[in-house]
Chain A
């Protein structure tokens, strides 16, 4: 019996060794399943065949063989599991490898549009002033002579009309607005102080078109009226605007000027964004760039809308959007804005 026992144990060892060797050579899950059935199958598996021998063994041998069978079974099962995992890993690896992409190919384009630089500039200016409590309003682009000129202290036959050559729809009565200032009147008529508005929009001048003149361009008007506003506030607002728009270290300079609807009037310069004031071609070697016109609302204009100039004070300013954009983006040619060349527009 001992010999028989030893022989059985040796066979089990041999079985284990053979099974493991075969397992090593297996490369596909199908073969793996065959191997599983062949050695570990519940009905015809080779190990099962040994189990069927147990009842024929003596009482003393049975547990020995039983334990041995279990040990072999566990060994094979864990080897199978390990091998299975290895194969799975490898197959996944290979599958992933097959799916390798050329990540340097351009992406599937989601077309991206661009905002026109004028719209972009207006938005930027509007944001700066809305942070200071201003509201944005718009007005008619075809205007009456009254709003565009007369109410702004520019009567008919006044030489100040030369400053703004006009496109007429009905001569003397209806025109393409030459400035956004008529909205000063419309806003003051429509409401009462306190007033803080900015007015962006198209304006029109009867001018020959060249590299720095357009017959249609854009302005942004500003108007603040209350009972305490002074020219120092105008300077404070515009200094803040200049810093936010053109950089934290920008300085502003006020100098005397003339607009029929402001008194006192001031031209506003910023120190040159290119040379920082030392003088260059952009600033014509003055160190300063003219950016807008401004002043305190003229008492005549206040009286025109029924405001008492001894009670209410206000400031107004107007800037050319193209001018601001040209300075901000270093554009040397105003006609680019209405040219709508995509090679230009895509840069904004």
Chain B
């Protein structure tokens, strides 16, 4: 809402500077978003002038050459505007003038010399109109600085959704008056009524009084349709509207001034002179003034005559009974419509107008007559109109004034600010609330002084005490509030610890040299499917997998077909061609773009895309992680399951370094080491990595991580937490990554289920430890984990630790075999082990390895 200061001053005396006024209003909740200093750049180079001669420029379809009387001489100016004629007074920018980004100079064009520029409203900063030159009033003196006549300051307000009453110059003036303790001067519409009474000229039927609580109409005859006077055009322009013709401009002017939207019909085009306000029929059509044919719904309100719709109530009129050049009689509509209905209609039609935006914030039904009278007055004064006597006013249930019983102590109760009854009284009265003291005994509030506050009908937002507290606070000033750190009781713990847990994982991974990224939770199905080496109905399922309480259902492990069928909605048939849109995901019905059409099912596509972006400019490798949620769809109408996850990505060397080991590109074991360090820091001891076939990964270089946790039956079982692996070469290629890439995604909720509730100290044995090395040769295919588990199983309690410290293939180890060397540490908690005991255990282990794996001791 743009309010020119000069206009505002018509209703309230303003002694503050524009900046001070803006501050006063902003502090009271009427935020002034900007001050627009119209004319500040005009200086003495933009002056008033008159066109004395005009000729078409030969060879141009739109340019004219004009001779301009500057008041002190005559110059030539080339102009392309269509709306000028000889005799017009116009704003002239002389060479050297600067208007916004434009600097005026002397130009030579098509054989003419142009020594200046005639200005459109937009070029002058008077609103957005650029359809022609801004024509000045005929009485305008020549050769005067335009700034002396027209400069102004426009206050730009953002009107909040609950204050429809502020969408007008008078509404703002009312607040200014209250805040600066000045009287409000309202215009008093006075005009002579003559001729046949309006009630005999027009009939109004309101069929739906819920959606249209009031409809007031006047008839004005004998109007001249011409251009608006300069002062009115200028105000409309500065307020951001475009002058059209005098009648339409008057309706707009009154809307801006008093806040009541009006509609002017050509009386003679309203068929049977009968206005019927009714709901549209489903599918009924109307062509609005913007030339668009619109299909209506049954919940939309129409203004019609007996032969059909003439306007969408409160939104926009149609050409049917539009005011035109031949119009002489006006049927003036000043009505009140239900906010919700107007808003729903405007949103559904995608048609937001000055009128609809006012109605949807709620307007005072008491305003219609004032608005109609003000417009009638202006039509009489400016358009020579004859106002027919009376108003046709359909107003079946007049609005009741709301009263609130209010205790001044509520202000302190809610804000901590001590106020007197007098202050409350004054503050509310200034805002036109009627305040009446109620005897204390009449109420049970402990003998306290109570006020009966009558709320003005234009303040539909005020419903109860808290609303009045805010009004008082606005008047006294928010800056009067004391600042006191709260005392009060502290609550019991109600945190679920997830905040702390996420930061724990974050800190651990940062400590391991990974950078945290934060990507959009919105993505597209296609972007996620890009992760898969081969896309089909079966492989796409991995995007929907989640750890389940019943073990491995729904989780692809070890490439078993059995685990691939699950109730997650993807047909598990790898032969069928797969369409991205058949991937279940939380779909956004109004996405910003196709790239952001759904919620992510995995963090990995964001990580891969971030690797891709960064790898273009990073010679060193990338080590990234993200903590966030996957959004797994549930049934229709249900909220999705949001699973907290961490995704990790490694690509390339850890650093650019002179140390060869550090300059080495990351490999599978780097990623696994990160995951193991995370497990160690979380004190998760029981876990395993198992080879897995996974469509994102290299078939021989991926694993599922499982942790042991107690199941619902109390027994311990391994539950999958997530997977990790080397990205399939086809996928790596798809993302243009220069190095082999390693990804991991873990479900934090399952991971934390395996974190011990508490740590307990195990006494450190004082007894001697015995170490024995063990080197065995086994088949290449034997997993190291199997050997390790066999050693642990057969070593029993006395075997404290087993650590693999060498893996070797090549001569003299036979082809197809590998040598694994462990160091074993034996120790008892309660006694000193003898060599013999350790040797016996060691021999038992060797025998078991021979038995289970055909292992041979390496000599």
| Contacts from A to B (Cβ < 8 Å) | 105-106, 108-116, 118-119, 123, 126, 132-133, 135-138, 140-144, 157-160, 162-163, 167-171, 173-174, 176, 187, 190-191, 193-197, 200, 202, 204, 206, 208-209, 215-216, 224, 226-233, 235-237, 239-240, 252-258, 260, 263-267, 296, 298-299, 309, 313, 337-343, 345-346
Residue of A nearest to B473 (CB): A264
The reply to whether A340 and B588 contact each other, CB–CB distance below 8 Å, is no
- Which residues from A are CB-within-8-Å of B357? 159
A174 to B199, CA, bound (A): 51
Q: Given contacts A194-B489, A264-B473, is CB(A256)–CB(B28) below 8 Å? A: yes
Can you list 7 pairs linking A and B with CB atoms under 8 Å apart? A135-B491, A167-B590, A204-B521, A235-B481, A256-B474, A340-B614, A342-B622
Q: Given contacts A108-B662, A123-B503, A226-B489, is CB(A256)–CB(B478) below 8 Å? A: yes
Interface string of B143-185 (1 = CB under 8 A from A): 0000000000000000011110000000000000000000000
Q: Given contacts A235-B482, A236-B483, A341-B613, is CB(A115)–CB(B160) below 8 Å? A: no
Residue of A nearest to B415 (CB): A231
The reply to whether A142 and B640 contact each other, CB–CB distance below 8 Å, is yes
**B417: interface (CB < 8 Å):** yes
**B814: interface (CB < 8 Å):** no
**B520: interface (CB < 8 Å):** yes
Interface string of B607-648 (1 = CB under 8 A from A): 000100110011000111100010100001101101000000
The reply to whether B343 and A168 contact each other, CB–CB distance below 8 Å, is no
Q: Which of B380-422 touch A at CB < 8 Å?
A: 412-417
- Which residues from A are CB-within-8-Å of B484? 230, 232-233, 235-236
Most chain B CB within 10 A, of A158, A263, A339, is at A263
Q: Given contacts A167-B591, A296-B414, is CB(A256)–CB(B340) below 8 Å? A: no
**B466: interface (CB < 8 Å):** yes
A118 to B521, CA, bound (A): 15
A197 to B343, CA, bound (A): 35
Q: B516 CB to closest chain A CB, in angstroms?
A: 4
The reply to whether B519 and A340 contact each other, CB–CB distance below 8 Å, is yes
* Selected contact of B511 from candidates A113, A123, A341, CB within 8 Å: A113
The reply to whether A114 and B415 contact each other, CB–CB distance below 8 Å, is no
Main SS of the interface on chain A?
mixed
The reply to whether B488 and A216 contact each other, CB–CB distance below 8 Å, is no
The reply to whether A313 and B413 contact each other, CB–CB distance below 8 Å, is yes
The reply to whether A231 and B516 contact each other, CB–CB distance below 8 Å, is no
* Selected contact of A253 from candidates B412, B479, B642, B655, CB within 8 Å: B479
Residue of A nearest to B606 (CB): A340
The reply to whether B494 and A114 contact each other, CB–CB distance below 8 Å, is no
The reply to whether B479 and A263 contact each other, CB–CB distance below 8 Å, is no
**B437: interface (CB < 8 Å):** no
The reply to whether A174 and B161 contact each other, CB–CB distance below 8 Å, is no
* Selected contact of A216 from candidates B483, B503, B521, B587, CB within 8 Å: B521
Residue of B nearest to A174 (CB): B639
**B26: interface (CB < 8 Å):** yes
Q: Given contacts A141-B521, A168-B590, is CB(A224)–CB(B486) below 8 Å? A: yes
- Which residues from A are CB-within-8-Å of B590? 167-168, 171, 206
**B596: interface (CB < 8 Å):** yes
The reply to whether A108 and B470 contact each other, CB–CB distance below 8 Å, is no
A204 to B610, CA, bound (A): 21
Q: Which of B31-73 touch A at CB < 8 Å?
A: 31
The reply to whether A237 and B591 contact each other, CB–CB distance below 8 Å, is no
Q: A224-B488, A233-B416, A264-B466 are in contact. List 19 more A-B contacts (CB 8 A).
A: A105-B658, A109-B657, A113-B516, A138-B499, A158-B161, A159-B360, A169-B588, A174-B637, A194-B491, A232-B484, A235-B481, A236-B486, A254-B481, A256-B28, A256-B29, A257-B160, A258-B29, A340-B517, A342-B515
- Which residues from B are CB-within-8-Å of A197? 494
- Which residues from B are CB-within-8-Å of A143? 639
A298 to B591, CA, bound (A): 32
A190 to B496, CA, bound (A): 12
- Which residues from A are CB-within-8-Å of B347? 157
Interface string of B450-491 (1 = CB under 8 A from A): 000000000000001111011001100011011111111111
Q: Which of B744-782 touch A at CB < 8 Å?
A: none
- Which residues from A are CB-within-8-Å of B510? 112-115
* Selected contact of A115 from candidates B466, B487, B506, CB within 8 Å: B506
* Selected contact of B162 from candidates A167, A190, A193, A258, CB within 8 Å: A258
- Which residues from B are CB-within-8-Å of A240? 485
The reply to whether A140 and B642 contact each other, CB–CB distance below 8 Å, is yes
Residue of A nearest to B509 (CB): A113
- Which residues from B are CB-within-8-Å of A337? 518
A185 to B267, CA, bound (A): 54
- Which residues from B are CB-within-8-Å of A228? 487-488
The reply to whether A267 and B522 contact each other, CB–CB distance below 8 Å, is no
